[in-house]
Amino acid sequence: MSSWEALAAEIRGCRACLELAATRTTVVVGQLPTQGAHVLLVGEAPGANEDLSGIPFVGKAGQLLDELLQEVGLPRETVAVANVLKCRPPSNRKPTTMEANNCRGWLTAQIAVVDPALIVAMGGTAVEWFFGKGAKIGELRGRVHDKAGRRVLATYHPSAAIRFGPRGMPRAALREDLATAAADPLVAAAWKVSR
Ligand code: URA
């Protein structure tokens, strides 16, 4: 069994958050393509569609994400995807600080297993996970940051892009940041070595 699968099995057994363990349908561990990945996208938490399917970003936000990834030349099949929380918060409420802390070790372990050349943190919850409470996407986005030895891009969540519409700033910024990830020289270098 790969270390991703071994870790996934452990994550699926997690009951650290009593409410989430009682209300979830599935534990949405994340996705790692079989050939590996050099970009890891990090979102907030599964929604209703993800909770039912067990797959991250398959609802409306996921459809927009897939579209933008395709447009910038970074197809979904080439990236790893994970969330700060692996279980759906009831009614899609925001994860609590305690839930994010309970789940922190899982994402930390996933980052170690994937060992991506670049991480893209999408939305406030993921951005705060990497940059700390109060971190502002508007101030951080547009360049790669070094966070504890990991290269991290901060950007808007696809659901913000939906909320502000096709001509809104978050969609344009998200697309631009995904294009930056697609063109990242260290990602390209990692593919050369691993092929
Ligand atoms: N929103 C997220 O942050 N993650 C998902 O997997 C789906 C929607």
Q: For the chain, which residues make up each domain, given as ranges?
A: 4-194
Q: Which fold has domain 4-194?
A: Uracil-DNA Glycosylase, subunit E (3.40.470)
Taking only the tens place, the pLDDT of each residue in 140-195 is 999 999 998 999 999 999 999 999 999 999 999 999 999 999 999 999 999 999 97
Read off the pLDDT of each residue in 103-111 and give the average, rounded to a whole number.
98
Q: What is the pLDDT of residue 1?
A: 64
- Tokens in use for 179? 């294009």
CA 193–ligand 1 middle distance (angstroms): 31
CA 14–ligand 1 middle distance (angstroms): 19
- Tokens in use for 131? 């940059």
**CA-CA distance, 126 to 174, in Å (whole number)?**
14
CA 195–ligand 1 middle distance (angstroms): 30
Residues with CB under 6 A from ligand 1: 43-47, 50, 56-57, 59, 61-62, 83
Does residue 82 register a pLDDT over 70? yes
Q: For residue 39, which of 81, 85, 84, 86 has the smallest C-alpha distance?
A: 81
Q: CA dist 54 to 12, 13, 49, 141, Å?
A: 10, 14, 8, 29
Element housing 13 (H / E): none
Q: CA dist 92 to 20, 62, 84, 97, Å?
A: 11, 15, 14, 15
Element housing 145 (H / E): strand 145-147
CA 13–ligand 1 middle distance (angstroms): 20
Does residue 67 register a pLDDT over 90? yes
pTM: 0.97
